[in-house]
Structure formats: C-alpha cells, structure tokens
C-alpha cells in the first residue's frame, strides 16, 4: 500500500459526500444502529470504492454512511473488516487511513467483547483506556507511509485522555454506568479457551475481542484522536459454565446498543 492508493479511495468517497467529515465512527457487531440516526445520509458500499475489500462478518453491513450526527459531519463505517476474515492487516486499517485523508480529526470505535473482569456483567459498557495486542501481528508492519506518520509510533496516549474524560463526564450526566478498562485483542475466529482467559486476566485485561486494536494503532500512527467502547456481549470463555455462541454477541448488541448510541451522540454534540 502507498499514499497514492489511499488518496484514490478517499477521492472517490469525497466525490460522493457533501461535507468534509470531522469524526469517523466504526461500528461493531450488532452495533450498526447509530448509522440510522445520521441525517442527510449518503451510503457508499465498500464494493464501489477503489482498492476496498468487502466485510463478510455476521452483523456487519459493509458500507460508509456519511451525513450529520448531533450537528457534526461524520463518516461512519457500518461494518468493519476483521483480520480473521483473512484480510491482510493493511486492508483492515485501510478505511481508517481513507477517513484520515478525508479530513477526520477523531475516530470513535465500538465493539462487542467478552467480559474477563469478574465484576463485569453482560450488557455493561466499557470505555477502553488501553489495549494489549495479542493478534500476533502489528498493522504497521511493512513500508512506512511517511505522509501519515512516523516509522515508530508512540502508543502512550492512543485512547485520547481528554476524550476519555469527556466520555466519563457525559456518561455520569446521562446516568449510564460506564466501566473503564483494558481491551485485549486476539485474532479469532475461534473464541478463547478458559485457560487463555485466566491468563489474560492475570495480564490485566478486562475484556477480549477480535477487532479495534488494528484500527486504533493505525489511527494513532496518523495522529487521530481515538475514543473506543466495548459492549460486554458475553462473559469470556470459562467465566460461566457454558458455551459461547455467535448469536448472543449480535443479540446483546441489539439489546444494549441503544445506550451506547445515546452516549456517543451526546459526546459528539460536545465536539462541535
Ligand atoms: N471473545 C472474543 N471476541 C469476542 C467475544 C469473546 O468472548 N465476545 C465478542 N467478541
């Protein structure tokens, strides 16, 4: 991948949308609902965009939705790409780079995740304060793109402290119980084993999932502010004496996605 390829994709999207977006949003499994709240919506299927690949994950639509949310021009990924689908990491982070070239300043990311922290329950929302990358691959491997950022990218403030503060204040104002913690990313697609989950708890992880970390690293590299949330869709393997299913992850998104949606809309209104 080079900068030119990213610009070509961005140019196509720019030719379709009305306003330069200020905020990019990536929606996780079963969490696509916020895209329905966007006004003056323009939908751009990934398949139309030069150099894009399609999302095949369940609960993911596969299009950009651009328009106005809480009075702010946004571009939203309704459906993201995952490493476990077989895409190269550079494909997984490609849309983040396209949104950067389109002019976004902030990236908001959501996901469904398994609860590792024993004080968490299904349906809890967690603000991601930091992450552990256990995907076995860093998305910045390969030639650096100097137009975007440096070869060695600092990760000390990946989840922008001011935005985390704003999220906590806004959640308190809305009476939302917002947990905070560390997201650990595995490649998937198998869920983790109970032994892995016990190990991850010892390492300091609060939730586990199969996304978000590549996008957050790419965003950090190109200087975007990042705000990320997990919806605890299930307790991680071995926490409860039962099997995990794909369906419960999507169902929980539908059940509790609205709370996250309200929180994000209220935060965006304050980023005007
Ligand atoms: N593990 C990994 N990814 C997930 C989980 C999980 O338990 N739940 C939702 N995404």
Determine the atom of ligand 1 nearest the C-alpha atom of 192: 1
Q: Which of 233, 255, 257 for a ligand 1 pocket mutation test, highest count of atoms within 8 Å of Cβ? A: 233
Phi-psi region of 62 (alpha: psi -120 to 50; beta: other; left: phi over 0): left
CATH label of the domain that carries residue 106: 3.40.50.1580
- Joined tokens for residue 68: 């106005």
Question: 6-29: string of b/e by CB count within 10 Å (b at 16+)?
Answer: beebbebbbeebeeebbbbbbbbb
**Confidence bin at 31 (pLDDT 50/70/90):** confident
Pick from 58, 234, 237, 246 the residue to mutate for probing ligand 1's pocket: most ligand atoms within 8 Å of its CB: 234
Report the atom number in ligand 1 closest to the C-alpha of 115: 7
Cα-to-centroid distance, 199 and ligand 1 (Å)? 15
Q: Which tens digit of pLDDT belongs to each residue from 157-210?
A: 999 999 999 999 999 999 999 999 999 999 999 999 999 999 999 999 999 999
Between CA 159 and CA 148 the distance in angstroms is: 18
Question: Given pLDDT bands bounded at 50, 70 and 90, which one contains residue 80?
Answer: confident
- CA–centroid distance, residue 101 to ligand 1 (Å): 31
> 142 alpha carbon to ligand 1 midpoint, in Å?
28
Tell me how far apart the alpha carbons of residues 268 and 107 are, in angstroms, rounded to a whole number: 11
Q: How many residues does the chain have?
A: 272
Q: What's the 246 CA to ligand 1 centre distance in angstroms?
A: 9
> Residues with beta carbon inside 6 Å of ligand 1?
112-114, 191-192, 208-210, 233-234, 236, 244, 249
Kindly write down the DSSP assignment for every residue of 48-107, as one continuous string.
GSTT-----STT---EEEEEEETTEEEEEEES---GGGT--HHHHHHHHHHHHHHT-SEE
Q: Which of 44-58, 63-77, 90-104, 110-124 has the lowest mean pLDDT?
A: 44-58
CA–centroid distance, residue 197 to ligand 1 (Å):
11
Domain that holds residue 228: 3-269
> What is the count of structural domains for the chain?
1
How close is the Cα of 236 to the center of ligand 1, in Å?
Answer: 7
Q: In the structure encoding, which two tokens stand for residue 54, read together?
A: 């399609």
Q: What is the per-residue pLDDT across 95-133, written as a single tens digit (0 to 9) for each?
A: 999 999 999 999 999 999 999 999 999 999 999 999 999
Q: Residue 57 has what pLDDT?
A: 62
Nearest CA to ligand 1 atom 3: 209
- Residue 37 C-beta-side C-alpha neighbours within 13 Å: 21
Take atom 6 of ligand 1 and give the residue whose Cα is closest: 114
């Amino acid at each position: 991948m080079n900068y030119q390829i990213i610009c070509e994709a961005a140019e196509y999207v720019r030719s379709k949308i009305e306003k330069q977006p200020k905020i990019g949003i990536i929606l996780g499994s079963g969490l696509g609902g916020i895209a329905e709240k966007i006004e003056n919506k323009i939908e751009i299927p990934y398949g139309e965009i030069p150099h894009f690949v399609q999302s095949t994950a369940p609960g993911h639509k596969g299009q950009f939705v651009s328009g106005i949310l809480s009075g702010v021009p946004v571009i939203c990924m309704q459906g993201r790409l995952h490493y476990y689908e077989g895409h190269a990491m550079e494909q997984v982070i490609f849309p983040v780079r396209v949104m950067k070239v389109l002019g976004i300043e902030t990236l908001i990311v959501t996901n469904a995740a398994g609860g590792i922290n024993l004080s968490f329950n299904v349906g809890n929302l967690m603000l991601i304060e930091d992450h552990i990358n256990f995907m076995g691959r860093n998305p910045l491997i390969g030639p650096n793109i100097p137009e975007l950022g440096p070869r060695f990218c600092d990760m000390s403030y990946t989840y922008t402290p001011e935005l985390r503060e704003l999220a906590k204040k806004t959640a308190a104002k809305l009476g939302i119980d917002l947990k905070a913690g560390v997201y650990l990313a595995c490649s998937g697609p198998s869920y983790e084993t109970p032994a892995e989950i016990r190990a991850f708890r010892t390492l300091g992880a609060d939730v586990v999932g199969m996304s978000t970390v590549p996008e957050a690293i790419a965003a950090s590299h190109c200087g975007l502010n990042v705000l990320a949330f997990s919806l605890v869709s299930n307790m991680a393997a071995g926490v409860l004496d039962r099997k995990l299913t794909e369906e419960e992850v999507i169902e929980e998104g539908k059940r509790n996605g609205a709370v996250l949606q309200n929180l994000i809309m209220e935060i965006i209104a304050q980023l005007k």
